[in-house]
Chain A
């Protein structure tokens, strides 16, 4: 569709003066596309991170026993292990708990008077019912709590999702701003070439023929802007991704985009060009209709 609008014969192409790719439309398209791609990439990175966090915690649960019943941890661990679908149960050693608390409490963390709760991590197989495990543990140790790790991360995940929606809203707003800029560019180019339009109308050119000429000009500008933005965004994102992957290497997860995410990023400039050409088409037709 776009190629059809770009390709015209040599004589047709000459009807508008060749001005090169230095108009404001190229710059506007480049800036808007760059921001949209980068913001969308940030949103996808957040979604990726949220997905990694969720997948890493959705099967992990924690048995917590208050300090008073900490001695009953082996019973709770045995009860959990007896349930089908439990892949593994690991008691967290008291020394490890005190080591963790030491960061906040200092030497006081090693005081025997400090009540330390008992904990064990539980890894469930996919499809296992956490309520069954909780019931089995609580039957043996009534004061035990059985919580999913993802529950602890719920506020963080909510924030990540809010940021994703914000990024999506920003991409949409940038899209609307791009369309508005194209409307202004289309009206501007029509005003610049008003005399040519008048002559062509007078000679019998249809609105469609005139629109096609200007549409072609805007399509070329939009494509040039989109290509420039894509190259710039790719360089920036690759640089950021390089740093991020080095940082995340030790964490055991990756920040690389999957094929679906890459497809979304590639689709943004393509969609922007399609929207620009469509908006230009309707703006030009509407503007031309104001003349006889």
Chain B
């Protein structure tokens, strides 16, 4: 993949994510982590090669069909991307409203989610009045509120303390337990250590380093069934 006429930022990638898997994406700054995530959450198309998501080839899928697939993906952006004139509540409720859910259902789900990320008392606050960590938690709550099939997070614990990072990882893990495939791009070694069951994908200069070969040939085990 390349941006415009620039150099290739990703090349020769060939991997499969198993359904219900938990993956950490690591690599030095500029290795292509964010670009790979953009391909995964359908913000970019590959300039060559194919991408299959949810059993469908989406490399050159009709533009109008993409929103349907995007609703199955939760994204935690590195820069949060909260809508600044909306309250924390409305930001978290956004994916549910876009999906056309009932307002009563939205209300209880969002309240519960905000409580879970420790922002129950800040639901009416606008992003500008929230700290970086609080904004990050709102962004995470927004990404997971729909219980997506795929969760993609770009440095999700970059602005939170160790305790909150642990809670967020627990949230991701719980979501993973419900069958969501989780891909987390991170530099946080503590995060890697905290989830020893996750696969680690390392990007180096736009190429994927897969010493174990597990990414090319993931185990066929259904992780949801494997969990207690």
User: What's the Cα separation between A12 and B101 when bound, in Å?
Assistant: 12
Nearest-Cβ distance from residue A289 to partner chain B, whole angstroms: 7
Find chain A residues with CB under 8 A from B77 CB: 202
Task: Return the contact of A204 from the options B63, B86, B98 (Cβ within 8 A).
Answer: B98
Contact with A along B61-73 (1 / 0, CB 8 A): 0011011111101
A206 touching B94, Cβ below 8 Å: no
Q: How far is the CA of A14 from the CA of B83 in the complex (A)?
A: 11
B98 touches A209 (CB 8 A): yes
Verify B42–A203 contact, CB threshold 8 A.
Answer: no
Report yes or no: A292 in contact with B42, Cβ–Cβ below 8 A. Answer: yes
Q: Is the CB of B103 within 8 A of A202?
A: no
B90 touches A14 (CB 8 A): yes
Contacting residues of chain A (193-239) with chain B, CB-CB under 8 angstroms: 195-196, 198-207, 209
- Chain A residues within 8 Å of B75, by CB: 202-203
Nearest Cβ distance between residue A198 and chain B, in whole angstroms?
A: 7
Task: Look across to chain B and name the residue whose beta carbon is closest to the beta carbon of A291.
Answer: B63
Q: Number of B interface residues, CB 8 Å?
A: 30
CA distance A14 to B126 in the complex (A): 13
CA distance A289 to B62 in the complex (A): 11
Is B68's CB under 8 angstroms from A204's CB? yes
Hey, what's the 0/1 contact readout for B139-172 against A, CB within 8 Å counting as 1?
Answer: 0001000000000000000000000000000000
Would you call B224 an interface residue if the criterion is a C-beta within 8 Å of the partner chain's C-beta atoms?
Answer: no
A207 to B83, CA, bound (A): 18
Quick one: which of A227-260 are within 8 Å of B by CB?
none
Residues from 35 to 69 in B contacting A, C-beta threshold 8 Å: 41-45, 63-64, 66-69
**A145 vs B97: C-alpha distance when bound (angstroms):** 83
CB pair A11–B97 under 8 Å, yes or no, is yes
* Minimum C-beta distance from A120 to chain B (A): 79
* Separation of A220 and B10 alpha carbons in the complex (Å): 46
Q: How large is the interface on A (under 10, 10 to 19, 20 to 34, 35 or more residues)?
A: 20 to 34
Q: Is the CB of A198 within 8 A of B83?
A: no
A17 within 8 A of B: yes
Q: Which residues of B contact A209 (CB under 8 A)?
A: 98
Residues of B within 8 A of A202 (CB): 41, 43, 70, 75, 77, 81
User: Given A200-B94, A203-B98, A206-B64, are A195 and B81 neighbors across the interface (CB < 8 Å)?
Assistant: yes
A139 contacts chain B at the CB level, 8 A cutoff? no
CA distance A204 to B149 in the complex (A): 13
Does any Cβ of B come within 8 Å of A9's Cβ?
Answer: yes
Choose one: B64, B67, B97; the contact of A12 (CB below 8 Å).
Answer: B97
Query: In whole angstroms, what is the CA distance A78 to B71 when docked?
Result: 94
Apart from A15-B83, A203-B70: 15 A-B pairs, beta carbons within 8 A: A9-B103, A11-B90, A195-B81, A202-B41, A202-B43, A202-B77, A203-B71, A204-B71, A204-B98, A205-B67, A206-B67, A209-B98, A289-B63, A292-B45, A292-B63
Provide a sorted-by-A list of 12 A–B residue pairs whose CB atoms are within 8 angstroms.
A14-B85, A15-B94, A199-B94, A202-B70, A202-B75, A202-B77, A203-B94, A204-B69, A204-B73, A204-B99, A205-B67, A292-B45
The 6 closest A-B pairs by CB, nearest first: A204-B71, A204-B70, A17-B85, A206-B67, A204-B67, A205-B98
